[in-house]
Amino acid sequence: MYQKDILERIRHPVDRDRWVAGAALVNAFYSPNTNEIIFPAGILQPVFYNKHFPRSMNYGGIGVVIGHEITHGSDKIKNKCAKFDDRGRLYDNKGNIRQWWDNATVVKFEEKAKCIEDQYSSYVLDQISMRINGRSTKGENIADNGGLKQAYRAYKKYESFHPIPQQLPGVNLTQDQLFFLNYAQIWCGVMNDKEAVRKLRTSEHSPGPIR
């Protein structure tokens, strides 16, 4: 039915109000074709978010996810948009395929992004002793780093207005430690060696332990 639904929409105008995923999905998306960020309701649960968590943990969970998708996406300023990942220049603010950066900007961006590419290319997934492909995962790695930095800055700003933080009973960790602990938790998982090899060869995301 899913493929049939897609085929039936081929000759119709793009419906920019249509969601790309169901509400129960635990994930988040940036769609360059429609220039939209989507957070299905399913992700608003532990470990990403809980109303009873200390704020530091929520910022280190759903806050980082929001920052990740914003880094993929854009800011609209005076009808222009500034995208931050390596594919943003290929789509304009209406989601049309159009490289709207000038050549000098592209060169400068690639120079600055090279450090992240090299950094991740030096990482090895110990489980299978294979190196990460820093080039094919560059866009997601940029979004991971951008999301983490922006969420941490947002938390520190929140903290400056709320100097008495909510404590986590029985855990002797600072709020900063809780922020990064929960960030680590959102990428916890296990996979067999076959799946690990497949992900390293085909996925645009770095595997969980590297993220």
Alpha carbon of 83 to those of 31, 72, 78, 144, 170: distances in Å? 12, 7, 14, 15, 42
Q: Taking a C-beta distance cutoff of 8 angstroms, is the pair 119, 131 a contact?
A: no
- Is 195 an active-site residue? no
- Is 144 an active-site residue? yes
Nearest to 73 by CA among 59, 61, 87: 87
Q: Alpha-carbon distance 36 to 25, whole Å?
A: 17
Active-site residue, from 15, 69, 159, 204:
69
Active-site residue, from 85, 92, 117, 144:
144
Q: What is the CA radius of gyration of the chain?
A: 19
Positions annotated as catalytic residues are 69, 144
